[in-house]
Amino acid sequence: MLIAKDAAARLPRSVCTSVVSVPMFVHNCRPGPIAVRIRMRKDLIVPKKLSTARRNFPQLDKAPTGITGFDEITNGGLPKGRPTILCGGPGCGKTMFAMEFLVRGAIEYNEPGVLMSFEETSEDLTRNVESLGFDLKGLVSRRKLFLDYAHIESSEIQETGEFDLEGLFLRLQHAVESVRAKRVVLDTLEAVFSGFSNAGILRAEIRRLFRWLKDRGLTTVITAERGHGTLTRHGLEEYVSDCVIALDHRVTDQISTRRMRIVKYRGSSHGTDEYPFLIDTDGFSVMPLSSIRLEHKVSNQRISSGIKDLDEMLEGKGFYRGTSILVSGTAGTGKSNIAAHFADECCRTGKRCLYIAFEESADQAIRNMRSIGIDLNRHIRKKALQFWAWRPTQSGLEMHLLRIHQLVEQFKPDVVIVDPITNLITGNTNEIHAMLMRLIDFLKERQITAMFTSLTAGQQAQEETEVGISSLMDTWILLRNVELYGERNRCLYILKSRGMAHSNQLREFIFTPQRIRLIPAHISAGTVYTGSARLAQAAREKAEALRQRQDREQKRKHLGSKSKRLASRILALRTELEGEEAEFERIGRVEQDRQRQVERDSIDMPKQRTFRSTTGDGTERRNEG
């Protein structure tokens, strides 16, 4: 450790064990012994990062419940060896939670359990949880579980004087000892309040019971009815203060959602939100929703949309893997068809696809897709495709989300298709926005490509989805009907596609018995033609082109003959010209001859004059001509 020299001088000997002067250069100045190196006593050194040191401290011992999601939000399960209160109204799943805690404990963690029920007989309980695949009889016979039913019938009971609940203690002790239990469930312990009127004794006894359970290190779940304004009707939470879990069952717009909240967990961090949970054939599952971070990895891999022409519009390669795709459009624009193509494509290329339909049953969808040449059935048979169809009104939003979570965790698909998401909108748009965000984040985290279809109402602006989810989407394909010349035709364009140079074209979308085709729309004289108008226009233009071609041909012929004519005329003229030239030359020659004759004559003239008498008339004549 380097410190200034004067500071070192002030340090007591008990703190630093050695002082060594070291030369130090400060901003290239002269070296000087202005700093000293001291050695601190090791036990006085405080670790630099308290948080990292703390991570090594032993955590509170926890008993995993084996309940999906619950161990995540509690960082490991219920407090081991301590009692936990599980409170909630009637029918919100208290007994189910407790049963699963016991059964999973016995099967998965080898911790036998005791169930002391004050409400249901052992036979009823056994039958109730059979549907979840829990074989209580088998567990009982293998000495993994002890069921005891404590029946309290107040009409049979008369109180005379002092009593205690030693009978209950002895029964519990007997049960715990007979299976060497580590876990105990008291299913509605508060029922004792209905059987006995002396509340003072009961409270004292219950307090004693909790201490008794804690002393024996039994991880206990005590269920309790929710009271008015209090967590439990009889204030049990006052005695148990280690862990309190509240279950809730709320109905909004006729749809009920179960939720769970950890009210208190002494000595441990835990999720504090209200978590929706589900009870189905696999038992209890809680959905941890707290991971809303934008930290997912991205992939450069591309995944084909299954429609060649659409891939072409997306740089010829299709979507990015792990992105979210929105296909929106009005009714009957072919959203499901695009989804089916995508599903078919990813199954054909050996990927797994989860198809969640909110409109059509599986059979109906498969039949309908066959009409455009897609056989989804063979993918289902090969287990590459899972088709789930349920009504959106079946449960609340969070239940849908939870169920999708479950399916994704079980099936581990590469592609998830939700068709359509708009059907989920039953109430608050904020809620669905939040739900979709969670769903998209969840899928992105797992590098799952998600395709959502969205129905836009006819009168609504096309480029606006009902739930305002467009910002969550990476690729948005918009489908619309174009009404022109007494026809509606489907058009498709890509409104956005993050991270790629996508086509800006409007394409016409045609169903054929062999899949979908996208045809570049016919654009002519500033108008876009689709459907038969496109065909008519194309025919018109073809005729026009033909006519023009014929015109051209005719003109060409005309020109040809004209030029021939002209050529012949040129030839004639040229012949004429040649004749003229020949004539001109001949005249020139005659003129030259004549000239030469004149010159000769002028020379000869004087001679002729002298010899006129001798030559006669002949010479005279030639001279005149």
Partner 1 sequence: MRAKAAKNSNTAQSPAFFELRLYVAGQTPKSLTALTNLKNICDAYLDGHYTLKVIDLMKTPQLAQGDQILAIPTLVRNLPQPIRKIIGDLSDTQRVLVGLDVREKVD
Q: Which long-range contacts (CB under 8 A, 24 or more apart) does 534-538 make?
A: 534/489, 534/508, 536/485
- Find the farthest-apart pair of alpha carbons in the chain and give their distance in angstroms, rounded: 206
CB-nearer residue toward partner 1: 152 or 538: 152
Q: How far apart are CA 476 and CA 564, in angstroms?
A: 64
Min separation Cβ 449 and partner 1, Å? 58
CB-nearer residue toward partner 1: 192 or 399: 192
Q: Are the beta carbons of 505 and 477 closer than 8 angstroms?
A: no
Hey, which residues does 419 pair with through a beta bridge? Answer: 357
Min separation Cβ 120 and partner 1, Å? 14
Closest C-alpha among 244, 250, 215 to residue 231: 244
CB-nearer residue toward partner 1: 148 or 225: 148
CB-nearer residue toward partner 1: 161 or 200: 161
Min separation Cβ 141 and partner 1, Å? 17
Instruction: Report residue 73 CA to chain centroid gap.
Output: 23
Q: How far apart are CA 337 and CA 344, in angstroms?
A: 10
List, as one string, the DSSP characters of 476-504.
Answer: EEEEEEEEETTEEEEEEEEEEETTS----
Min separation Cβ 123 and partner 1, Å? 14
CB-nearer residue toward partner 1: 236 or 491: 236
CB-nearer residue toward partner 1: 156 or 215: 156
Min separation Cβ 153 and partner 1, Å? 8
Min separation Cβ 54 and partner 1, Å? 45
Q: How far apart are CA 280 and CA 93, in angstroms?
A: 11
Min separation Cβ 171 and partner 1, Å? 5
CA dihedral 118→122→128→133, nearest 10 degrees, is 130
What DSSP state is assigned to residue 271?
A: -
Min separation Cβ 244 and partner 1, Å? 25
List, as one string, the DSSP characters of 75-142.
Answer: TSSEETTSEEEEEE-TTSSHHHHHHHHHHHHHHHS---EEEEESSS-HHHHHHHHHTTT--HHHHHHT
Residue that is written with structure tokens 């007591």 in the block = 12
CA dihedral 337→338→342→348, nearest 10 degrees, is 50
CB-nearer residue toward partner 1: 197 or 241: 197
CB-nearer residue toward partner 1: 26 or 170: 170
Min separation Cβ 125 and partner 1, Å? 15
Hey, which residues does 145 pair with through a beta bridge? Answer: 113
CB-nearer residue toward partner 1: 165 or 221: 165
Min separation Cβ 170 and partner 1, Å? 5
Closest C-alpha among 474, 155, 388, 434 to residue 273: 434
Residue ranges binding partner 1 (CB under 8 A): 148, 150-153, 156-168, 170-171, 173-174, 192, 195-196
CB-nearer residue toward partner 1: 122 or 368: 122
